[in-house]
Amino acid sequence: MYNAFWDHLKEQLLSTPPDFTCALELLKEVKENRLRNEIEEALDMDLLKQEAEHGALDVPHLSNYILNLMTLLCAPVRDETVQKLESMTDPVQLLKGILNVLGLMKMDMVNYTIQSLRPYLQEHSVQYEQAKFQELLDKQSSLLDCTTKWLTKAATDLTTPSPSSLGSLSSSSLGCSPPNWAANSSELPSPTMVLYHGYLNLLLWDPDDDEFPETLLMDRIRLQEMESQLHQLTILASVLLVARSFSGNVLFSSPEFVDKLKCITKALIEEFNSRPQETMVSVSEQVSWEIHQGLKDMGLTALSSENTASLIGQLQNIAKKENCVRNIIDQRIRLFLKCCLVRGMQESLRDFPGGLSLIKGELAELGWNFFNLMHHNQQVFSPYYAEILKNVIPQAQAQETEVESV
């Protein structure tokens, strides 16, 4: 990494026109080193100790010197906080405030350093992981067997879509025969789309299936967590959608009410996987009560006993896997994640799927996490994926010779 930084600096200075970005950063560091020497001279602890022993320590002058330095060195976002310190007269509170702001400044510097090094770290990480995986592959030629099965299954899904492709993956389903390209030659999927479909299939993986793609073994726990988050968001969005259909847009136009209902529902559905029916009974009772109270507080007409019973019944039906609302929400969330891979995060967030606006913040967070993880995996293993997909989709070589990066 050290050599890579200086090589990068050399490339910048030799480019036409020269790029002085890194050079200016180095000059800034030189300036800060000079400033560090000045600080050490001004805050000579031995001298300050002697002044304190003789009662000659000028605390206000020392405080002003420190605050002026902090103003010079801190990020603009901290200027207002430092200015407030200048008006403090209590030495204890002043010292407490100074140490607190210095801690924030330290974190600012750490974040800035990480941000500056991020491109070099990412490049180094990709190269390092590729080299280590190649070492393992040289020793074990069958290391990509499960990865090949995984991509073959993804290619088959795209050419022969069926309801079963939305179900859990298993080792038996992965051990499928190669797709019949002759029957589908007019609609060949690109290698990139096959890879993206394979990534989405990871969020449907049977936890008992050990034939997980070797190229993603290090990320399996994180993917399981994302699958769990996706499931929780599906239930949450289903509850909110049903609740809004009964209570109307006026109540759900209140951010306070929506946030409260989301908070309550999230807490109640934590045990959904182990106790779906019991969980949804609790959810239906609490949500119906919150809607009743919300309508009352806003002076709106309360739900009739018939509508209340229907609301409770529809909420409890969400516990069933075949529930239509739940299945539609699940499909839209997965479609959003696919769009994140295909179109990028920014465009996907601008064109948000209908029915999911109430969980936009939570879904955006899941989308970013999934996108970043899969993007890094694609950068590292795209050469291996391209080679596998050449055999899985032989005719596609004329269309796309390698797996494109996001």
* Region at 361 (left for phi over 0; alpha for psi -120 to 50; beta for the rest): alpha
Q: Which two tokens stand for residue 253?
A: 């136009």
Q: Using the Cα atoms of residue 386, residue 387, residue 393 and residue 396 in order, give the sign of their dihedral.
A: positive
Residue 221: CA count within 13 A, CB half-sphere: 1
User: Quick one: which H or E segment has residue 51?
Assistant: helix 45-53
Kindly report whether the global pTM for this prediction surpasses the value 0.85: no
Q: How confident is the prediction along the chain (406 residues), in pLDDT tens digits per residue?
A: 556 666 666 777 677 777 767 666 665 665 565 656 666 776 777 777 787 777 777 777 777 888 887 887 788 888 888 888 888 877 677 777 887 888 888 888 877 777 776 666 666 778 888 889 999 999 988 889 999 999 999 998 888 755 444 443 333 333 344 454 444 444 677 899 999 999 999 999 998 888 999 999 999 999 999 999 999 999 999 999 999 999 888 889 899 999 999 999 999 999 898 999 999 999 999 999 999 999 998 888 889 999 999 999 999 999 999 999 999 999 999 999 999 999 999 998 888 887 899 999 999 999 999 999 999 999 999 999 999 998 888 644 434 445 554 4
| Phi, psi (deg, nearest 5) at residue 234 | -60, -45
Query: How many other β-carbons are positioned within 10 Å of the β-carbon of residue 157?
Result: 23
**Alpha carbon distance, N-terminus to C-terminus of the chain:** 25
CA distance 54 to 116: 47
CA distance 224 to 166: 17
Q: Which two tokens stand for residue 261?
A: 């209902």
What's the DSSP call for residue 190?
Answer: P
